Chain A
């Protein structure tokens, strides 16, 4: 188990106003005081970071440049690849769809020389624009499993408009939980293929006007938008329930190992509970 270098997160930026509120369980790793005085020094580190607010709308390519510039601005010695057009050695295990918020993004950074992890992340966070913030960083120890293998499940939250009837949410969730197969249509270039989402929906709950679900990693990955489409596809039942409206927000809350009632967050191992809504 890698040593966690835990960081307290600065709170009062404009981006935070846009970002989902961090409930105590979602941000458990970030807020845990237990190992906040780490003085770890490492050349390779893994981070959990948040991409929220206006940064929801930037692409994966934009995100790479954002990281490179913040690292340069912070004066951190990120390593560059050899070759004709050198690239900074930052790897992102998977891409977040444009438009989605996340408090559960991950990256692995390789530096040209060892850095003091806590200080580096503090400088990096100061260099980021609002909406990007590292919540936690750990040194990569020799023989550690690949980062992507630590991200076997992701906890998503889908927020619906505040005037949505919570009973509609509960009805759709119950119908999906009860279903054997949940078939959605995926549009690929010229063809449309059908896919069954059900095997990859580890668990889901309704909570007020939002739905939280643990999705298992798959190839291609199940998108939160597809989960919404499946939820919205359940027709009104005998009780006269309404189909769900367009969500106001998709948020990837955390990633890690699938667990009972949530995920065990990849870097800290702390349980992020399925049931804890991000809404106050």
Chain B
């Protein structure tokens, strides 16, 4: 058909004249280093990978980069990327009747077989709907024609996809590397049959995809509620689909050494570096941390693979910074040798090395020293998360205050001049004393700093805690913005006008929305759609977020904010995400929640006998680390 063929071609000629009218036009041009441009006509499947936020935020995302390369390396598969247009660009696109487009070839969203969204946070949901709507797609999956692109989501927030359930066709729970290949094979078969005139209905394709490990097809499940409006459960409504969807887990990271050739942005983004995951998963067991819980078990990448990836990655990109990523970097069994060898290799080349996510201990200062041999020791960041030892036992991130101060001493004495400390407020059982403890800890660290230099500084950064699915804190009540503002006030007045201590905090209002979307059920989807219709966009941006708009959307959808946020759940609560199996046993999560309330810590299962969280036997895997195996003493 001529019309559908023309609507699949590049819109660049129409877009280019609009670029002088928008802010930051380079975010829409594509043409970056290391992009993969393929001829669509020579390919038998096409994917548009969308990060539903601004280019500057989404471009560095590691998950998108990995899948972009994995798909791009497949024969006959084309993968392109898309990001959310800012308000000025969205208005121009609508004014000129232009669709959401890809960056590589500026093709309309509808020209792709699969549109896959990466959901790192919940605050991109209205941007997701904007992309679909601007992409000339029916926002609701049930309204889509057989040949419309498949809408897929993945990433950490997809572990509770229910607030998006009516909008998406397929959810990927867990690691995407193997998953996308298996889905791609099915999409190719589907498209080939359609092009031969022997097409199967969309439902049949979805049935086939539902058999892929890690795939959840929301339309094949139904949420049942009691007459009082409490969730009874989410149950399969189609024969053959799993009762609970097990997450997908890549067992050997060395077999997936991606990214190899990261896209190098032409314009500023939040992280401009070649990043390599040194391991996936975490056994520390911090009770607030969704990432740590849903990515178990630990899978280390070998030192040799990491070094090879860094060498090739820098040569292919020209980046001046390397990031060694993980949830707790110093826990890699070969971290010391790795840091030393990487530092040796790049000494004197003006290449900077960063090791985010380090814990508060002196060993990390040694590592940081190693990575800054050129002596540029500006800021060191630690995340104690809570201000008192009691509170840290509750969240299971136990560090003694004396050790923390010793760490600060080690850092300042070796020339570090600025320590940044990250904390959360609104944690379960938190008292005013715990909150004031944040300020006091900051002041004590500053006192240590002042002994080594009058100009030394401490930054205390405070964020509001939002309880997340698949964690022991999924039962917890979330603080209201009013409670959080009171707590920020406590810290402010304790810190006073102390020079050298910089207090940073965010407005607590967006946390309300994050909480609703994080623990929301399918009913919340109506509010998401309503908010989108009312104009909500870029909810993660303080300057765009509008709580009153969302409250209107909730009211229109007949939903109660407090039900989703400030309500503490009891043991009988059935969660909207329980049909997605992260591997963690519900009983273990509940026990750990009770342990938290009793202020009891739980050790790292690398060092203590297994406490049966359920992940390893469920996946038939064990933690893969270079550490010596722990023999149970009992």
Q: Which residue numbers of A lie inside 8 Å of B, CB to CB?
A: 14-15, 53-55, 57-59, 61-62, 65-66, 68-75, 80, 84-86, 88, 98-99, 127, 129-131, 248
Is B264 a contact of A99 with CB atoms below 8 Å? no
Q: List 29 A-B contacts (CB under 8 A).
A: A54-B26, A54-B30, A55-B31, A55-B266, A57-B19, A57-B25, A57-B28, A58-B266, A58-B267, A59-B267, A62-B26, A62-B268, A65-B272, A68-B320, A69-B319, A69-B320, A72-B318, A72-B319, A72-B320, A73-B33, A73-B315, A86-B350, A88-B350, A99-B19, A99-B20, A99-B25, A129-B32, A129-B33, A129-B266
What is the minimal beta-carbon distance from A18 to any residue of chain B, in angstroms?
A: 8
Is A57 a contact of B320 with CB atoms below 8 Å? no
What is the minimal beta-carbon distance from A225 to any residue of chain B, in angstroms?
A: 10
Is B25 a contact of A127 with CB atoms below 8 Å? no
A84 to B418, CA, bound (A): 14
Among B268, B315, B318, B376, the residue within 8 A (CB) of A68 is B318
Query: A73-B318, A80-B350 are contacts. A57–B376 as well, Cβ < 8 Å?
Result: no
Most chain A Cβ neighbours within 10 Å, of B17, B32, B316, B350: B350
Is A73 a contact of B266 with CB atoms below 8 Å? no
**Which B-chain residue is minimally distant from A132 (CB atoms)?**
B266
Is B318 a contact of A71 with CB atoms below 8 Å? yes
A23 to B241, CA, bound (A): 65
Residues of B within 8 A of A73 (CB): 33, 315-318
Query: A69-B33, A129-B33, A130-B31 are contacts. A62–B320 as well, Cβ < 8 Å?
Result: no
Does B29 have its Cβ within 8 Å of any Cβ on chain A? yes
Does B378 have its Cβ within 8 Å of any Cβ on chain A? yes
Is A54 a contact of B31 with CB atoms below 8 Å? yes
Is B29 a contact of A57 with CB atoms below 8 Å? yes
Q: How many residues of B contact A (CB 8 A)?
A: 27
Contact flags B149-164 to A (C-beta < 8 A → 1, else 0): 0000000000000000
What is the minimal beta-carbon distance from B54 to any residue of chain A, in angstroms?
A: 16
Is A69 a contact of B31 with CB atoms below 8 Å? no
B window 299-355: CB within 8 A of A: 314-320, 350
Residues of A within 8 A of B376 (CB): 84-85
What is the minimal beta-carbon distance from A253 to any residue of chain B, in angstroms?
A: 20
What is the minimal beta-carbon distance from A212 to any residue of chain B, in angstroms?
A: 21
Contact flags B367-394 to A (C-beta < 8 A → 1, else 0): 0000000001010000000000000000
What is the minimal beta-carbon distance from A68 to any residue of chain B, in angstroms?
A: 7
Residues of B within 8 A of A66 (CB): 266
What is the minimal beta-carbon distance from B286 to any residue of chain A, in angstroms?
A: 33
Q: Which residue numbers of B lie inside 8 Å of A, CB to CB?
A: 17, 19-20, 25-26, 28-33, 37, 264, 266-268, 272, 314-320, 350, 376, 378
Please name 11 further chain A to chain B contacts, defined as beta carbons within 8 Å, in addition to the given A57-B26, A69-B317, A73-B315, sorted by A numbering. Answer: A53-B31, A54-B31, A57-B19, A57-B25, A62-B266, A69-B318, A75-B315, A80-B350, A99-B20, A129-B32, A129-B264
**Which B-chain residue is minimally distant from A225 (CB atoms)?**
B20
A74 to B264, CA, bound (A): 14
**Which B-chain residue is minimally distant from A88 (CB atoms)?**
B350
Residues of A within 8 A of B268 (CB): 61-62
Most chain A Cβ neighbours within 10 Å, of B25, B315, B316: B25
Cβ-closest 10 pairs across A and B? A73-B318, A69-B318, A54-B31, A54-B29, A72-B318, A57-B25, A57-B26, A58-B26, A99-B20, A62-B267
Among A61, A70, A80, A98, the residue within 8 A (CB) of B318 is A70
What is the minimal beta-carbon distance from B351 to any residue of chain A, in angstroms?
A: 8
A85 to B318, CA, bound (A): 18
Is A131 a contact of B31 with CB atoms below 8 Å? yes
Is A59 a contact of B26 with CB atoms below 8 Å? yes
What is the minimal beta-carbon distance from A232 to any residue of chain B, in angstroms?
A: 15
Among B17, B37, B314, the residue within 8 A (CB) of A248 is B17
Query: A61-B268, A85-B376 are contacts. A127–B29 as well, Cβ < 8 Å?
Result: no
What is the minimal beta-carbon distance from B271 to any residue of chain A, in angstroms?
A: 13
Residues of A within 8 A of B20 (CB): 99
Query: A54-B30, A84-B378, A86-B350 are contacts. A127–B318 as well, Cβ < 8 Å?
Result: yes
A15 to B33, CA, bound (A): 13
Residues of B within 8 A of A248 (CB): 17
**Which A-chain residue is minimally distant from B30 (CB atoms)?**
A54
**Which B-chain residue is minimally distant from A81 (CB atoms)?**
B350
Residues of B within 8 A of A14 (CB): 31, 37
What is the minimal beta-carbon distance from A75 to any residue of chain B, in angstroms?
A: 8
A54 to B272, CA, bound (A): 20
Residues of A within 8 A of B272 (CB): 65
A71 to B192, CA, bound (A): 45
A110 to B320, CA, bound (A): 18
Residues of B within 8 A of A72 (CB): 314, 318-320
Most chain A Cβ neighbours within 10 Å, of B17, B19, B33, B318: B318
What is the minimal beta-carbon distance from B374 to any residue of chain A, in angstroms?
A: 9
Residues of A within 8 A of B318 (CB): 68-74, 127
Residues of B within 8 A of A58 (CB): 26, 266-267
Residues of A within 8 A of B267 (CB): 58-59, 62
Residues of A within 8 A of B29 (CB): 54, 57
A8 to B110, CA, bound (A): 42
**Which A-chain residue is minimally distant from B19 (CB atoms)?**
A57
Most chain B Cβ neighbours within 10 Å, of A59, A74, A130: A59
A100 to B3, CA, bound (A): 34
A248 to B18, CA, bound (A): 11
A116 to B264, CA, bound (A): 27
Residues of B within 8 A of A127 (CB): 318
